[in-house]
Amino acid sequence: MIVYIRKMAVEQKQWLDETTFRDGVALCQMIPGATAMQTAAYVGFKTRSVFGAGASFIGFGLPAFLIMIALSAIYVKGHSLPPMISAFKGLQVIVTAIVANAAFTFGKIWLKDWRGIFITLMAAVMFGLSVNPVLVIIAAAICGMGLHSKENSPAIQAIVPENHSSQKSFLFILLFAAIALAVLFIFRRPLFDLGFLMSRIDLFAFGGGFSALPIMLNEIVHVRGWLDSLTFLDGIALGQITPGPIVITATFIGYLLHGYSGALIATIFIFLPSFILVIALEPYFARLQRSRYFNRAIRGILYSFVGMLLSVVIHFALNITWDIPRILFAIVTFMALVFNMKLPWIILAGVIISVVVF
């Protein structure tokens, strides 16, 4: 999606130059949250300040939200029908292959030496032993700073001048979010719990949307028991059908728990913290780029998500009843992803094959 945003913002509309856009992508990759959503907000922010950021953010996420609402409603009414059961048996295998491919891809990009492998394995073991993922992330950040203490983190050449004009708008949005949570706490405590949890998940999802999956799985399935593992898998599968980021699964979770209001609250708060961070940190991006400790900590956190994703793959796999057709289905899906076949075609073919085979 970032490629399409660049083509629109740099080449077609010429809202930003290449260097400014590249700096924005670097910023969005350094902070938690869905990178494509943040990049859309960054483009709007650089073009039309805070209101532009809001317009871009909402415009980018709204189609996925509406589609996910429709899919969630269909799921609630028809998930017990035989064709739907068969379709989701195949989609669960596809989602497991998708997460395995994400772990493989991230590992190939990030793991370059024994330090990364060590932190990855440490995170996988800790998460597999049901250690809270936030503690895993903190431990990985500390290890990243310690194990890379003798290295100089590579500096990024582009420097963005600091600009404090957006700070009032940032504080206003922060205040509005706090008031909204306070109102929910007083009048609709279940919605407050949902919104506050989604905010925490977003704040620790360094590395993009996939990195939110281990935290979301732990909090939704293991800690609170709001959904079982297979239903959570179904939500991820539906999220992959939409054109939005994978964390749009939050809409599905909110809908199943509290209907339309739950879907709206979950969606707002799974994206709002990272939106606020883009606005708040953009003026200080140059300072962050030059901070060796920040870059080392981020490196350790990214390693940890490879390990946690591996644990999620194992967890998902253990919840599937494996036979020869499913094993072959998983292998074919994984290879198709490795060779960059478009995901919508994989999903469509998977649904058709699932209805016939399963």
Domain ranges of the chain: 2-150+157-357
pLDDT of residue 187: 93
Rounded Cα–Cα distance for residues 291 and 260 (Å): 43
Rounded Cα–Cα distance for residues 142 and 293 (Å): 10
Mean predicted confidence (pLDDT) in 256-273:
95
The alpha helices in the chain, defined as continuous H runs, are 2-6, 18-30, 35-78, 82-110, 114-128, 133-147, 167-187, 189-203, 212-217, 229-241, 249-281, 285-290, 292-318, 324-338, 343-357
| Least confidently predicted of 23-32, 136-145, 172-181 | 23-32
CA angle 124, 129, 135 (to 5 degrees): 70
pLDDT of residue 151: 55
Higher pLDDT, residue 287 or 272: 272
Rounded Cα–Cα distance for residues 217 and 103 (Å): 16
Query: Which are the contacts of 226, defined by CB distance < 8 A and separation ≥ 6?
Result: 220, 253, 257
Alpha carbon separation from 254 to 202, 210, 321 (Å, rounded): 15, 19, 27
pLDDT of residue 172: 81
- Over 50: is that where the pLDDT of 153 sits? no
Average pLDDT, whole number, for the chain? 85
Mean predicted confidence (pLDDT) in 282-293:
76
Q: Tens of pLDDT along 79-132?
A: 777 888 888 888 889 889 988 988 888 888 888 888 889 999 999 999 888 888
pLDDT of residue 184: 93
Higher pLDDT, residue 8 or 254: 254
Helices and strands in the chain: count of H runs, count of E runs: 15, 0
Query: From the centroid of its chain, how far is CA 38?
Result: 11
pLDDT of residue 167: 66
